Every structure is written in structure tokens, then in C-alpha cells.
Homo-oligomer: A and B are copies of this chain.
Amino acid sequence: MPGMWDLTLPDVLGQHARSRPGQLAAVCGDARLRWPDLDDRARRLAGALATAGVGRGDRVVWAAQGCHRVLEGLLACGVLGAVFCPVNWRQTSEELAFVLEDAAPRVVFWQEAEIGDTVRAARAGAAQGAMWVRHDDDGAQGYESFLAAGERFEDVRAEPGDGVLMIYTSAFSGRPNGAVLSHRAVLAQDLVIAHVNGVEGTDVFLNSGPLFHLGTLMRTFSTFHLGGTNVFVARVEPHELCRTIERERCTGAFLMPPTIAQLVEANRDGRYSLKSLRTGAGAPEWEAMVTVDPLARPAGGTGQTEVMGMVTFQAFGGTGAHGRPSPMAQVRIHDDGDVECAPGEVGEIVVRGPVVGNGYHNRPELNAAKQRNGWWHTGDLGRVEADGSVTFIGPKARMIKSAAENIYPAEVEACLASHPAVREAAVIGVPDEVWAQSVKAIVAVRDGMQVTGDELVQHCRARIASYKKPRTVEFVDALPRQGYAVDYDALDARFGGGGYPGGWNRSV
């Protein structure tokens, strides 16, 4: 009997509407939606989208900031078998125009506040034909009117393997690619995240991270699936976050260290009670404000958007830096011929299982390469340790090949960083007439210290295999970064790097 074994995101929503009728599903400013409210709004939005021509496999873009409507839009798409694509609202109009052209959505939800000029410029430069609905417009053309006109769409048209979420990942092949994730992948990952992080139906999760990134969304979905409350904010504003945590009694939040520092600063006088928040250990001022959970487990691991986020977890232990695999994935290390590597050997991390996504939207050749032999090829290099746990080494796309030797920048960088005068160091591969590539180090020196390139080369020669040592060293005041990550593209551009043999693989 088809369908009897299926479970989709709107199925979960419909169940919560029945099983938790009085509980809050989503909070966003003044909007407070219980499960039946969210169910009704998502199904009416599905009706409105269907009227606008959205059908199975079609895309709907969210070009706006954080909001409970992200969850509504995603669930409405889930009802129809369509794909919801929240895009990075910090992008330039050119970047956004590329995404709009590539995703070719039927409907775009957008926002005037703060990013209106960028979105309008992108719209002018992208393919026409989509219906545009402004979500921060309370009038007859706005989101609420659009939703209110929709007729409740009862039947779920999606199957578990259908895409429901699309997230554009970094431009490893010269352009961003939209990674498509299925209901099956989302729902499988939800239970793993719930297990690792102790997510419960009584949780109140503050979506203080970007909703175009799985870092936050993994927890959003897990909270949704377990029946907890998701709280949304447009963007990070420390006082607003503090007020929201206090008002909604949030039990969790997506908080990177700089945000935590902002919250500590905003609440230095203790004007907000953040005690409902259960977190891991941190700085003393932070610990004094929140409730430190002694059972919190290490949160690290490795993964990527294309496999629904994390597929190894430090919480599962082991000597490897990135823990053991998810119970919903097989994770192996393969050589270039897709033969499994022995423990200790470096190769490409490949993944199978329900958490694996459906590949990239509209990239058939790339998908064929990444999905070859029935495994998702992450483009990340890793190693299985003697105890079976996994260490992520670095992106395959930046592996340096000098003659026949594979050189992993992370290893050389760690060696350079162990020199007392080095504040930070990055390694790139530059073309070499004899060896194909050679290693170039870019180094920032600690204030008040001095070191020469030769000294650093000798430092490495004494510690790692000679062929791995840098041939040349360049000094900079600071490494260029994109967010937290070193901007290797900028280093390549400035110092002549390139020609990496990793091929079609992501760079970060």
C-alpha cells in the first residue's frame, strides 16, 4: 500500500496539530502560533502557492531575514512536494541574482527592510517570471494577504525522498550550487540531533543563527520534529536576543562565540534573566548568566550541507578529532578509485544513508560525479583512526600534489603554528614546473616577535616529511577571512596559488 510507510514534514506537522493542540510551535515577535495555527497557515500557504502555479519539484525562494514564515514556507512547499530555498540575505545583488537565475523559482518571498535595494537590484538582473510577494508588507499585495487567500491544502503530495529544502553552498566549481535535501534526510537527522543534543518536546529554541545555514536549521528541525517551540528573530541584535530569551524562556539558542560575547556585554548589568538557557561551559560571566548543563556533550563533528549537516559526532567518542559516524549514515574513507582506505590512510570521506541529500539542483554532471558508485563523495579528506573514529583533514580541492606526494595543508599549517613566533599560518599550492605544485606558506607573526622564512622552513623540516615543508614563505599582517574561515581563494589570487588536483570539490 503506497504511502503507509511514508513520513514527511507536513505529516509531522499534522500530527503535532492533533497531539499538541495547546502548545506553541512558533514565536516571532508578536506572532504566537500553536500547532494547529501553524498547521493551518502552512496548509493555506500551500493552497496559495498551488494557485500561483507551484507544483512538485518547483522552487520557492525566501530572500529575507529570519522569521517564522521560513518554517511556514518550508512546510507549505513540503505539502506540495516543492522545494523551499532560503537564501543568504547578506549576499550582494550580483550573488543573489545568480541564485535567482539558477533556482528559477515560481515564487519569491522578499523583504524591503534593510535589504530592499539589494533584492530589487538582483531581481532586475535575474530571469523574470516568478511571482514576488513581499513578506514585510501588511497590504493587499503582502504575504499575509497572499496566505489568507489560500484554500487549505489537505493532502500531502510529497514523498519522503522528494526535496523540500535547498541551500546554496560555496562556489567550489566557480559558482554556488543548490544542495537539495529531502524530507527523509531532514527527519532522519532530526532524531540523531535530538539524541546527541537532548532535544525534547518541551524545548524552546531561539533561532538566533542564519536560517539559510544548516548550523541553525539542524536544531530548528529537530525541535520541530520533537514538538518543541521555535522562536525566530530577524537577525542578531544582542538586546533583542536577551529580551527574547527572557520573555520566551528559551532553553536553547544558536550562539557562536562572538554572539555570546555580545550577550554578555548587553547583559553586563544583569538586566535580563537568561537562566532558562541551558548551555555548555563558557566564560565565567556567561556561566553566571545562564544554566550550565553538566550533561552537555561535545558539539563538534564533521559533515556538510549536502548530507544534512553533521555525519560524525564527537559525542560518540574516539581519539579522532571528529568522533564517530551518525547512526543514520555509513561513513567511509575511499581512495580515488573508490576503494576503501585502511585505517590511518587519508582519503575522501564518502557517505551513504537516509541523511544524504538529493544532490545539486540542475547539475547533472556534478551529481553523477559526486554520487558515483552509490556513495556521496563529500570532497573532504579524512582518516579513520585505529579506534575507528574519524578525523577530518581538509578539503580535497586544496590538497597539494607535489610530484606523486599528497600534501594536506592542515598538517603543514599545524606545524607552522607550533612555532612560537607564528600567530597564524595558511598553506597554498603554487604551480611548479618540476613538481607540478609546491608549498607556499603565508604567515602572520605575533606582535613584537620576529622570524625569517628560512627559520620557518627549517622548523618544518625538523618536524614533518621534507616534501611537505614550505618552499617559500610570505608574511602578512593577518590572514584574509570570510566569516571565521580563512579565505583561501583570496590567498590563491594574491600569491599565485591554484592547479589543485582535487577537481570538482568544495573548497571550504
Q: Which residues of A contact B (CB under 8 A)?
A: 1-7, 11-12, 14-15, 18-22, 161, 182, 184-185, 187, 190-192, 194-195, 201-202, 225-227, 316-318, 324-325, 327-332, 352-354, 356, 371-372, 374-376, 384, 386-390
Instruction: Write out the residue numbers on chain B whose beta carbons fall within 8 Å of the beta carbon of A324.
Output: 19-20, 201, 227
Instruction: Write out the residue numbers on chain B whose beta carbons fall within 8 Å of the beta carbon of A226.
Output: 327
Among B6, B192, B227, B352, which residue has its beta carbon within 8 angstroms of that of A352? Answer: B6
Query: Would you list the 6 A-B pairs with minimal beta carbon distance, nearest first?
Result: A191-B191, A19-B388, A3-B374, A1-B371, A7-B353, A19-B324
CA distance A467 to B459 in the complex (A): 93
CB distance from A14 to the nearest CB of B (A): 7
Known: A5-B354, A201-B316. 19 other contacts (CB 8 A): A1-B371, A3-B352, A4-B352, A4-B356, A5-B184, A5-B352, A5-B356, A7-B328, A14-B330, A18-B332, A19-B316, A19-B325, A19-B390, A20-B324, A20-B387, A20-B388, A21-B387, A201-B317, A226-B327
Known contacts A316-B201, A388-B19; A12 and B352 CB within 8 A of each other: no
Contact A387 B332 (CB under 8 A): no
Best-buried of A15, A191, A329 by chain B (most CB within 10 Å): A15
CB distance from A357 to the nearest CB of B (A): 9
| Identical copies in the complex | 2
CB distance from A102 to the nearest CB of B (A): 22
Among B3, B325, B376, B388, which residue has its beta carbon within 8 angstroms of that of A4? Answer: B376
Contact A5 B353 (CB under 8 A): yes
CB distance from A1 to the nearest CB of B (A): 5
Q: List 15 A-B contacts (CB under 8 A).
A: A3-B374, A4-B376, A6-B352, A12-B327, A15-B329, A19-B324, A19-B331, A19-B384, A20-B388, A21-B388, A22-B387, A194-B195, A201-B324, A225-B327, A226-B327
Q: In this complex, what residue of B is CB-closest to A222?
A: B327
CB distance from A222 to the nearest CB of B (A): 10
Instruction: Write out the residue numbers on chain B whose beta carbons fall within 8 Å of the beta carbon of A384.
Output: 18-19
Q: In this complex, what residue of B is CB-closest to A386?
A: B21
Q: In this complex, what residue of B is CB-closest to A35?
A: B388
Contact B352 A191 (CB under 8 A): no
CA distance A375 to B182 in the complex (A): 23
CA distance A433 to B198 in the complex (A): 58
CB distance from A233 to the nearest CB of B (A): 26
Instruction: Write out the residue numbers on chain B whose beta carbons fall within 8 Å of the beta carbon of A11.
Output: 330, 352-353
Instruction: Write out the residue numbers on chain B whose beta carbons fall within 8 Å of the beta carbon of A18.
Output: 332, 384, 388
Instruction: Write out the residue numbers on chain B whose beta carbons fall within 8 Å of the beta carbon of A354.
Output: 5-7
Best-buried of A15, A19, A21, A372 by chain B (most CB within 10 Å): A19
Contact A331 B15 (CB under 8 A): yes
Contact A19 B389 (CB under 8 A): yes
Instruction: Write out the residue numbers on chain B whose beta carbons fall within 8 Å of the beta carbon of A352.
Output: 3-7, 11
Q: In this complex, what residue of B is CB-closest to A194?
A: B195
CA distance A317 to B22 in the complex (A): 13
CA distance A388 to B20 in the complex (A): 5
CA distance A325 to B226 in the complex (A): 10
Contact A330 B15 (CB under 8 A): yes
Known contacts A18-B388, A201-B317, A316-B201; A7 and B191 CB within 8 A of each other: no
CA distance A3 to B376 in the complex (A): 11
CA distance A22 to B195 in the complex (A): 23
CA distance A189 to B124 in the complex (A): 50
CB distance from A256 to the nearest CB of B (A): 27
Known contacts A191-B192, A327-B191; A5 and B161 CB within 8 A of each other: yes
Best-buried of A22, A182, A352, A386 by chain B (most CB within 10 Å): A352
Among B325, B327, B353, which residue has its beta carbon within 8 angstroms of that of A190? Answer: B327
Best-buried of A6, A22, A325, A353 by chain B (most CB within 10 Å): A353
Q: In this complex, what residue of B is CB-closest to A340?
A: B18
Known contacts A5-B161, A352-B3, A352-B6; A15 and B317 CB within 8 A of each other: no
Instruction: Write out the residue numbers on chain B whose beta carbons fall within 8 Å of the beta carbon of A7.
Output: 328-330, 352-354
CA distance A194 to B326 in the complex (A): 13
CB distance from A387 to the nearest CB of B (A): 6
CA distance A187 to B326 in the complex (A): 13
